[in-house]
Amino acid sequence: MLTMKKTYFLMSEKIGLRPLVPEDAGVPYLNWLNDAEVCAGNDHHRWPFAPAAATAFIAAAASDRQNLVLAVEILETGEHIGNIALQSIDPIHRSAEISFLIGSRTAWGKGYGQEAGRLLLRHGFQELNLQRIGCGTPDSNAGMIKVALALGMKEEGRRRNAFFKGGKYHDIVLFGILSNELGH
């Protein structure tokens, strides 16, 4: 039997980043977005996430030039463990926001998010000619804060009580990195 080798948009030693495909609209993607713990640090899990919504999102992402959304896969297994995106890409101000969703709990704490972040930051600066990439996360999201700092992002400020989840308000911690600050 002939097996086809996958083509990735961006790759490192351990992970590959590829466009989302219609098949991604099923399990495990739906499980991640309907899991309170996986979504504790983002705006998902406020309403149930249905297959039709996932299909529509993936279809829209395929032709969107203001948001680059990619699946994160472990090269060794081919497992889709999450997504990463450059959002709100602004060609005038040469800026964007990076966001992460590592949905597979077995992949947590293994550095995959950080590795994916490095790949996407490099692509944003070297290929999209961005000058600044930022992100914001609730102050309760220790994992994302750790990733942002490990990527060389600097804390730029806070939006007080700007995020409501789990029955309480949280500050949003803002991070950013400039193209000349990325370690190559």
Cβ neighbours of residue 54 closer than 8 Å, sequence gap 6 or more: 24, 25, 26, 29, 30, 33
- Residue 158 covered by a domain: no
pLDDT band at 3 (very low <50, low <70, confident <90, very high): very low
pTM: 0.92
Express each pLDDT in 63-79 by its tens digit: 899 999 999 999 999 99
Element (H, E) at 122: helix 112-126
- How many structural domains comprise the chain? 1
- Residue 154 covered by a domain: no
- Residue 175 covered by a domain: no
Does the bond joining 138 to the residue before it have cis omega, within 30 degrees of 0? no
Distance CA 43, CA 18 (A): 23
Letter string b/e over residues 4-27, b meaning 16 or more CB atoms within 10 A of that residue's CB: eeeebebeeeebbbbebeeebbee
- Residue 176 covered by a domain: no
Quote the domain boundaries for residue 75: 10-131
Distance CA 173, CA 141 (A): 9
- Residue 36 covered by a domain: yes
The CATH number of residue 55's host domain is 3.40.630.30
Cβ atoms < 10 Å from Cβ of 157: 12
Handedness of CA 107, 110, 116, 117 (dihedral sign): positive
Express each pLDDT in 37-63 by its tens digit: 998 888 888 888 888 999 999 999 988
- Residue 123 covered by a domain: yes
Beta strand pairing call for 95-102 and 132-138? parallel
CA 134 centroid distance within chain: 12
